[in-house]
Amino acid sequence: MMRRLTMWTAAVACVSASGLAGGVPAVAQANSAPLVVRTDKGLVRGIENGGVREFLGIPYAAPPVGALRWRPPRPAARWSGIRDASQPGSNCAQTGNITTGVVATSTAEDCLYLNVYAPPRFSFGPRPVMMWIHGGGFTGGAGSIYDGAPLAVTGNAVVVTINYRLGPFGFLALPSLDAESHDGSSGDYGLMDQQAALRWVQRNALAFGGDPRNVTIFGESAGGASVCDNMASPTAAGLFERAIAESGCFLLSQNQQQAEQHGASFAAQLGCTDPATAAACLRGKPADALLTAAGGVLGGWGPVIGGRTLPLQPATAFQTGRYAHVPLLQGTNHDEGRFFVGFEFDAIGHPMTAAQYPVVLAAQFGAADAAKVEARYPLSAYPSPDLAYASVFTDASFSCPALTADTFAARTGVYAYEFSDPSPPNDFGITFSFPLGAAHSTELQYVFGKIPFLDTTPPFTPAQAALSVQMMKYWTRFAATGNPNGGGGPFWPAFTTTRQQVQELIPAGIAPTTSFGADHQCAFWAQIEG
């Protein structure tokens, strides 16, 4: 501990001296927090916003443009003078879609930026660091739509949000790209970006009041999948001490063969049909053409299994013990599937019909298993076909895979949760034909205390506001210590294989339950998936 505090004192002295060298006023008192900070690439000037220091749009890697398109991230260039850090960097190239939180299309490839939110004053010793990995199906989203300030203040933590390459820019696999790589694989550029951001945190956390030896990665949906992918990634070893995965631990990965078939089809749409030269051909295409060919949200893009970055399916890595043995806080929402059903059907004006229900099941599970699923989830048991299929989607794609992840990781410490507010604020701006419930992503406004993208305070009831504060405290205490408990909140027991306790996060009713697996029919899904 003494060595860490010595490092901390040295970092504060360096930052203070950098203020004098840069021609700005010296720090007046030892405990005041500067708005000019020296990073490893140069000085940045942040802003104070509502009592929080914000440093926005800091490059953590070189722009992956031109010849660097579809290559591992390279170091950012140094700069002279003081770089303005009052505005976030460009969103990574993506087709705008309300479901990702980024409604405007971006063609920017110069997008590898991060944002730092730090409490205004130094504490006695460095604070825990929490690096947020956004969701969006690996095709959309941005770090800047999440305001880390409330979480930083509530939990006395340094919060970092990042961009990473998306869609074909982040996850294209091709034989010609394999040939360029050191390990004969391609497709995990987005994960490499996340790890480059973590290495930036290791080098620079102290300058912002954070502890590089106490870093937590956390994320939701594709970001939650990224958390577990990084836990299973040998190249992320030692870059973080704890992990929080919301709604997606074993989600959206593909093997190398599947990825290269998808990549070849993508390249062919752009006239790049020769496997030997497809990469060079595609590097000559503009970003907007790539986006057009890529398709929309959930267009088949995601991390690729088999290379050095991600050698094993995360579920296999967890099951066999070949993952980062760090404490994990992991969970899902009670009604995850209502988000997907609502946007697939209601949002286009056509709620699912009874006739569509068996057709959709057959397309997802195959005829034989679809019949079993329909028998287990009959339309007669639900108010509408939408809600029947939403339950299927929730249990098969989120709840039961989360329980599997909890079970595999229990040996190294797991705290499991289910967000179960039956009436959270509808932050989508769309009215559905059924109650939204605790749908996919509805917990985000509780974790951040703000509605993502809108950057507004949610219209919480007093009980919901209390739940939000408690969740922020759980998340930040876990980041600080590996245990969410402390401070007088409802006790959260650890998940074990013999006592599978899941903390139900409900307004005015937080308590553990042991019925999660039965509630979501996980024994049935083990037979279907097995």
Domains and CATH numbers, the chain: 2-305 (3.40.50.1820), 327-529 (3.40.50.1820)
Residue 221: active-site member: yes
Q: Which 3 state secondary structure label does DSSP give 104?
A: coil
Per residue in 399-413, pLDDT (tens digit) is 999 999 999 999 999
Per residue in 52-91, pLDDT (tens digit) is 999 999 999 999 999 999 999 999 999 999 999 999 999 9
Find residue 331's DSSP bridge partners. Answer: 246, 417
Of the pLDDT bands very low, low, confident and very high (cuts 50, 70, 90), residue 4 is very low
Q: State both tokens at 393.
A: 């989607």
Summary mean pLDDT of the chain: 92
pLDDT at 289: 97
Report the distance separating Cα 227 and Cα 242, nearest Å.
10
pLDDT at 295: 82
- The catalytically annotated residue of 336, 418, 443, 504 is 336
pLDDT at 235: 98
pLDDT at 443: 98
List Cβ neighbours of 447 (8 Å cut-off, separation of 6 or more): 151, 220, 246, 468, 471, 472, 475
pLDDT at 431: 86
- pTM comes to 0.93
Q: Does the pLDDT value for residue 12 go beyond 60?
A: no
List Cβ neighbours of 3 (8 Å cut-off, separation of 6 or more): none
List Cβ neighbours of 380 (8 Å cut-off, separation of 6 or more): none
Residue 350: active-site member: no
- The catalytically annotated residue of 221, 253, 441, 468 is 221
| Percent of the chain's residues with pLDDT above 70 | 92
- The catalytically annotated residue of 134, 262, 334, 440 is 440
pLDDT at 500: 96
Q: Does the pLDDT value for residue 28 go beyond 90?
A: no
To which H or E segment does residue 197 belong? helix 189-204
pLDDT at 298: 59
Report the distance separating Cα 342 and Cα 361, nearest Å.
16
Interval 452-470 mean pLDDT: 94
Per residue in 486-527, pLDDT (tens digit) is 988 999 999 999 999 999 999 989 999 999 999 999 999 999
Per residue in 408-438, pLDDT (tens digit) is 999 999 999 999 999 999 988 888 999 999 9
Residue the block writes with tokens 């967890």: 318
Residue 226: active-site member: no
